[in-house]
Amino acid sequence: MNSALAKSEALLNGFDEAILFTDGGYVSEASAANLFLVREDKLITPPVTADILEGITRSTLMTLAEEGGRAVIERPVHRSELYVADEVLLCGTATEVAPVIEIDHRAIGDRTPGAITRSLARRFNEIARGTTDDHRDWLVPVGSLRSDASAPSDPM
């Protein structure tokens, strides 16, 4: 419920998304997405102890970043770090990978999606849509979820 209320308040105030915080005042996540920031070529994300949902997309991006030789750091993130980040991105099942170009009316980078965000989004999309042979083991063809024997019969 808190996430839905935060998202509604964000929209009423002219923002696209809400960023939620822990009781201690550290960044947690967005209303329905995990959050990453980029500083000095490192991908930083709040730890699971920051009241986040341990998302599959979050885990996937962490793996892809590490495979690309990028350090991934899970640690508490202060709100002020978002303002000075080189890049900020959100990710989740519905969100996939979304760049954040402004927070609290402050520009993130040059207000365009950064190179690391674009690279992770491209790799994620290639894998999720099966247009690369990388990580084929992460995909399950939808038609293989049930056998013909378990298919519902035609009522007609």
pLDDT in tens, 16-52: 889 999 999 999 999 999 999 999 999 999 999 999 9
Q: Are 115 and 37 in contact (CB under 8 A)?
A: no
Q: Which residues of the chain have pLDDT under 70?
A: 144-156
pLDDT at 62: 98
- The number of C-alpha atoms within 13 Å of 32 and in the hemisphere containing its C-beta is 12
pLDDT at 146: 60
What's the CATH fold of domain 2-139? Answer: D-amino Acid Aminotransferase; Chain A, domain 2 (3.20.10)
pLDDT at 24: 94
pLDDT at 89: 98
CA distance 86 to 101: 10
CA-to-CA dists, residue 16 to 70, 134, 149, angstroms: 29, 33, 46
pTM equals 0.85
Alpha helices by DSSP H, the chain: 2-12, 56-67, 79-83, 115-128
pLDDT at 142: 80
Sign of the C-alpha dihedral computed for residues 108, 111, 114 and 120 taken in this order:
positive
Annotated domain spans of the chain: 2-139
- The number of C-alpha atoms within 13 Å of 35 and in the hemisphere containing its C-beta is 29
